[in-house]
């Protein structure tokens, strides 16, 4: 990011963006609860709720699956309102043209997300749920990025003496890892919106093997033995393979994030904000792996599965913010960086003085 692209910090705008991001995060969690409880279609109409104006739907009728779906809609409306205010605020007060358009993009994004959620109900399309879940993640990144770009931290990023140049190799590694996490979340959204319960009921093995048999006879046997309270459909070979790929990609992400944290720590030093962020990222991935295992061991308990969704969203946005900051500290963005040297702990120590 060039120096000219920075802006004088606007603390209240930044705080408002952070608030929008936080409520969006809660909304992702509530959306996760809707899917985890199989409640996505418990309110058959949209934008009304059981014939009522959504905001006038009596609290006494918020029961069973309706509670999750209806509160999801109300919180989504709140995010829509916050995003609209944020977009208008950016348009009026932010001096950077690209930030104004980022606000417009957020506004259009929240509208698209709301319509997508509504169509998923009215068109009876489970597959739209995958796009709804994916767009939610992208929207979360966008709002968090706006919060970053309006922060004092970002405004000061071009003050060269406070930062160290981040090598291209490290930036690329983090970018690739973040993209892999996004792919992982798309796989996860596809799994969840198949509404088939747990495709594989054991972990770390899969039906007692490292790689399960997905032949027709074996799959028929798995279905015979599956007894689930909220089971909706028999599991298929495709779903089993999808969950296996989810596990494989999870392992790859774990290794890559560990590599990112190690390289960031080594090259930038332990006091560097990006090194700390990378370590936090690794901690998130640890938690995410544990929650993934717990999701299986608890037979997909709704709260555990939802926590897995939320930590997944945090993992993605952490990688995305790291990329934005990292690219903001690239050699081209920090013309004077070379004067501090570009590699290694020694350089970091110099600049920390």
Partner 1 sequence: MFLLVAALAAVSTVRGADIAGVVTFKGTPPAEREIAPLMDNPDCAAMYKTTPTTHFYVVGPKGELADVVVSLKDVTGKSTGAEAPPVVVDQKGCLYTPTILAVQTGQKIIVKNSDNCVHNVHSKPTADGNEEHNDVQMPGGADLTYTFAKPEPFLKFQCDVHPWMFAWVSVIDSPYFCVSDKDGKFVIKNVPPGKYTVQAAHRKLGAQIQEVEVKDTDVTVNFTFEAK
**Binding residues vs partner 1 (CB under 8 A):** 37-45, 50-51, 61, 63-66, 69, 121, 124, 217, 220-221, 223-233
Token representation of residue 328: 């903001």
Shortest approach of partner 1 to residue 154 CB, angstroms? 43
Shortest approach of partner 1 to residue 40 CB, angstroms? 7
Shortest approach of partner 1 to residue 192 CB, angstroms? 14
CB closer to partner 1 out of 7 and 236? 236
CB closer to partner 1 out of 51 and 204? 51
CB closer to partner 1 out of 14 and 33? 33
Do 302 and 36 contact (CB within 8 A), yes or no? yes
Shortest approach of partner 1 to residue 305 CB, angstroms? 13
DSSP one-letter code for 209: B
For 40-97, the DSSP string reads TTSS-SSSSBTTB-GGG--GGG--HHHHHHHHHHHHHHHHHHHHHHHHHHHHHH---H
Cα distances from 4 to residues 87, 152, 214, 327, in angstroms, run 21, 15, 56, 15
Shortest approach of partner 1 to residue 184 CB, angstroms? 26
CB closer to partner 1 out of 44 and 335? 44
Shortest approach of partner 1 to residue 75 CB, angstroms? 19
The runs of H, that is alpha helices, within 126-236 are 126-149, 152-155, 168-192, 216-225
Q: What angle do CA 266, 156, 99 make, to 5 degrees?
A: 110
CB closer to partner 1 out of 126 and 327? 126
Shortest approach of partner 1 to residue 225 CB, angstroms? 5
DSSP one-letter code for 161: G
Do 116 and 131 contact (CB within 8 A), yes or no? yes
Q: What angle do CA 49, 53, 57 make, to 5 degrees?
A: 65
CB closer to partner 1 out of 77 and 223? 223
Q: What angle do CA 109, 111, 113 make, to 5 degrees?
A: 70
The residue assigned the tokens 């939610």 is 136
Cis omega (within 30 of 0) for bond into 319: no
Shortest approach of partner 1 to residue 304 CB, angstroms? 15
- Phi, psi dihedral angles at 324 (to 5 degrees): -60, -45
């Amino acid at each position: 990011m060039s120096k000219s692209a920075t802006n004088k910090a606007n603390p209240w705008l930044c705080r408002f963006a952070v608030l929008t991001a936080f409520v969006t995060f809660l909304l992702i969690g509530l959306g996760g609860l809707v899917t985890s409880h199989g409640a996505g279609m418990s309110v058959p109409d949209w934008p009304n709720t059981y014939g009522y104006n959504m905001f006038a739907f009596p609290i006494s009728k918020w029961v069973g699956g309706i509670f999750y779906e209806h509160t999801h809609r109300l919180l989504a409306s709140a995010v829509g309102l916050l995003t609209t205010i944020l977009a208008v605020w950016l348009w009026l007060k932010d001096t950077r043209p690209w930030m104004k358009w980022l606000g417009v993009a957020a506004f259009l994004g929240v509208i698209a997300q709301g319509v997508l959620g509504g169509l998923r109900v009215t068109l009876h399309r489970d597959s739209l749920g995958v796009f709804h879940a994916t767009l939610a993640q992208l929207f979360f990144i966008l709002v968090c990025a706006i919060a970053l770009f309006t922060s004092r931290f970002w405004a000061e990023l071009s003050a060269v003496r406070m930062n160290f140049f981040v090598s291209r190799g490290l930036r690329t590694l983090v970018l690739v890892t973040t993209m892999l996490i996004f792919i992982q979340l798309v796989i996860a959204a596809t799994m969840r919106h198949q509404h088939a319960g747990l495709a594989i009921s054991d972990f770390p093995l899969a039906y007692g093997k490292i790689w399960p048999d997905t032949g027709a006879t074996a799959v028929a046997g798995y279905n015979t033995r599956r007894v689930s309270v909220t089971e909706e459909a028999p599991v298929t070979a495709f779903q089993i393979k999808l969950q296996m790929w989810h596990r494989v990609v999870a392992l790859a992400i774990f290794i890559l994030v560990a590599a990112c944290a190690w390289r960031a720590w080594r090259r930038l030093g332990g006091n560097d904000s990006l090194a700390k962020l990378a370590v936090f990222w690794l901690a998130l991935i640890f938690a995410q792996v544990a929650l993934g295992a717990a999701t299986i061991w608890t037979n997909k308990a709704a709260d555990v599965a939802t926590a897995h969704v939320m930590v997944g969203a945090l993992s993605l946005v952490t990688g995305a913010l790291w990329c934005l900051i990292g690219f903001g500290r690239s050699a081209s963005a920090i013309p004077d960086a070379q004067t501090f040297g570009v590699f290694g702990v020694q350089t970091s120590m110099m600049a920390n003085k």
